Amino acid sequence: MTMKNKPIEQKIVDTLKVNYMPYAMSVIVSRAIPEIDGLKPSHRKLLYTMYKMGLLKGAKTKSANVVGQTMKLNPHGDMAIYETMVRLTTGNEALLYPLVESKGNFGKTYSRDMKFAAPRYTEVKLAPISEELFRDIDKDTVDFTDNYDGTSKEPVLMPSAFPNILVNPNQGIAVGMASNICSFNLKEVCDATIAYIKNDNIDLMKYIKAPDFSTGGQLILNEKDMEKIYSTGRGSFKVRAKYRYDKKNNCIEVYEIPYTTTIEAIIESIAAIIKSGKIKDITDVRDETDLAGLKITIDLKRNSNPDEIMNKLYMMTPLSDSFGCNFNILIGQKPMVMGILDILDHWIQFRMECIRRKSLYEIKKKSNHLHLLKGLAKILLDIDKAISIIRKTSKEAQVIPNLMKGFDIDELQAEFIAEIKLRNLNKEYILRQTADIENLTKEIEDLKDIVARDERVLDIICQQLKEISDKFGQERRTEIIDEEDVEKVSPETFIEDYNVRLFLTQQGYIKKITLVSLRSSGEQKLKDDDFIMQEQETRNKADLLLFSDKGQVYKLKIHDLPDTKASQLGDYLENVLQLDEGESIIFMHATENYEGHMIFGFENGKAAKIPVSSYATKTNRRKLANAYNTNFPLAGIYFLDQDTDFVAYSSISKVLVFNTSQISPKTTRNSQGVAVLKSKKGSRMTRIISLEEIKLNDPEYYRANIPAVGKYIKVEDKEDTQIGLF
């Protein structure tokens, strides 16, 4: 390898500094982040080109013409420039107050697939409101800089006479940072700015009620969240579509959608829902957008509730979407995230500077004119002398010096007098011209007063904002709805409810079979040596508690279990619940309201009555430890919807009948309970069971107040018990 081809070693940090950082800063400062005039460089170059082309007045011109001219300021490709223009047009509807008036197809901001026509077909000119962006731009209100090749000048900022940064939306992704500014109503912004100029302590929410979007829709207002956005420049809020119900055709017509989404995204999302069967009342969805405007039509089945369906669609589709705010703006080439009042502060300071610079420009211009008129006034004293000096001067070059000497005026004044036409060298003309001296003097003094006093400048800003508000202000497009007035829709709303029967087998399989299916089904399919241990009728929206032999309870939403048939084995709970090794389910209970009690009998003769509400949790926990006491083996587990008679059996064939009302409920799930069956000769309680499930010829014979030893089982009851048990 030659020395020439030998790679140069360089630390990665140094490489980033030399190569990457300049690129990152260029993207931030010169491309992606808007400045205080509300424009990015690409927007500014395009608009200024149109201004210089005279497109503020007069007829429209072909877009291709504008694109070509803009390339003198913007070195990017023609399509990049055209796409920038498209977003600014009235036809595209991306801006709340479009800056470019358009003719032809410019696509729509709310459509992903509706493409704009080529620039050779479309026509544009500057919209009337753009005049306020350029107000007094030719009067030294802003700085100008060289274009990329130094052949012409372009403005560093536009002297925007209204806070365009807040009035039109702006989004940009730079390197390591981004900007996302929502649009606000022009009238509201102007009123807020005027109020803020007059009083620093204003409640911004009284003036700027909420953002306003070109696509309309409904904004769900949470005042705390909005106040946070207003103060910090960060946060999010929800916008949703507006719709109407066409009773004649039994369909929903969506005619305004969130600014952040598109027709295609909404239709695709609804189509997926129809296909999955999550909402069965929708039969079709289609795009019927035409020249009259946006329209998405959703066909419904008969007797469907359109409001309920829309509430579901708001939750499941982009018909309701969030707008994330990030008010990142370049101030003096430095990116800053600011709240609205901070933005207005910077805009007011910027606008004050523009007005002062315009005033200084006019002072200079008027002072120069005044100076010339004062020279003209001097010859009024002796017009004949001026004519005589000019006529008697032999050389043209001596005319100016001779006039200067003859009337004690300077060169500029002499030049001005010398250029007056012969026909105007009369008293009437000169008197008419010099009559403005007094007015000019007053105007100059007034302009100097404006420059010197902030109050005068701020009054001018307020006056201009009032004029702009009256001229271009429009009603809100986005409707505001208080969050409290919005119907809350939970995920449970989307779950279909119907009657089911659950089957739990000894080997740990569970089946959920609809009652409709159960009526027409045959024999239950089970594995060899397996049997149905428990069954219960319930509803699809209920919760299921599954108690294990390890003292734990597992919770399931019944709708999470798939519907099965009698001819299927069902779901294996070890896989569904992720059971511990050697753990098995011994009891299930379905509940819709967590009412009633669980009763646990233990071999030590005690029983615990635990409210089912003890197993309810606010979070969707799937597993609860300490479901019941595990110090002694279980003798039985049952659900009580109300107190009833139970039978307790001991290992020495003694029987006790008692009522569960004698057992006090315990809120602690792993309570040891109270004594029910007393032990005798080391006996233990082997089983408890509801009296309804056991046939005893004389139950009262065994009844006693607990705790009790019980009585030996009669021979005739032994037979009945055996029959009942198997």
The answer to whether 615 and 670 are in contact (CB under 8 A) is no
- The C-alpha atoms of residue 191 and residue 495 are separated, in whole angstroms, by 48
- The C-alpha atoms of residue 326 and residue 32 are separated, in whole angstroms, by 13
Residue 350 CA: distances (Å) to CA of 141, 166, 588: 10, 15, 72
In the chain, the amino acid numbered 326 is N
The answer to whether 342 and 204 are in contact (CB under 8 A) is no
Name, in order, each residue with C-beta under 8 angstroms of 265's C-beta and a sequence gap of 6 or more: 112, 318
Helix (H) / strand (E) element for 599: namely: strand 597-602
Of 23, 82, 110, 121, catalytic = 121
Show the tokens assigned to 412.
């500029």
The 10 Å Cβ neighbour count of residue 573 is 23
Beta bridge partners of 654: 712
Show the tokens assigned to 140.
């030294």
Taking the alpha carbons at both ends of the chain, their separation in whole angstroms is: 92
3-state SS, 80-121, equals HHHHHHHHHECCCCCCCCCCEEEECCCCCCCCCCCCCCCCCC
Show the tokens assigned to 577.
């619940």
Which SS3 state, helix, strand or coil, does residue 617 take?
A: coil
- The C-alpha atoms of residue 207 and residue 476 are separated, in whole angstroms, by 13
Show the tokens assigned to 338.
């600011």
- The C-alpha atoms of residue 524 and residue 566 are separated, in whole angstroms, by 5
CA 473 to chain centre: 25
The 10 Å Cβ neighbour count of residue 267 is 19
Secondary structure E strands in 153-306:
153-155, 170-173, 178-181, 218-221, 234-240, 242-246, 251-256, 282-287, 296-300
Secondary structure E strands in 199-326:
218-221, 234-240, 242-246, 251-256, 282-287, 296-300, 320-326
121 is catalytic: yes
- The C-alpha atoms of residue 576 and residue 572 are separated, in whole angstroms, by 6
Residue 51: which of 142, 124, 140 has the closest Cα? 124
Query: Which residues belong to the active site?
Result: 121
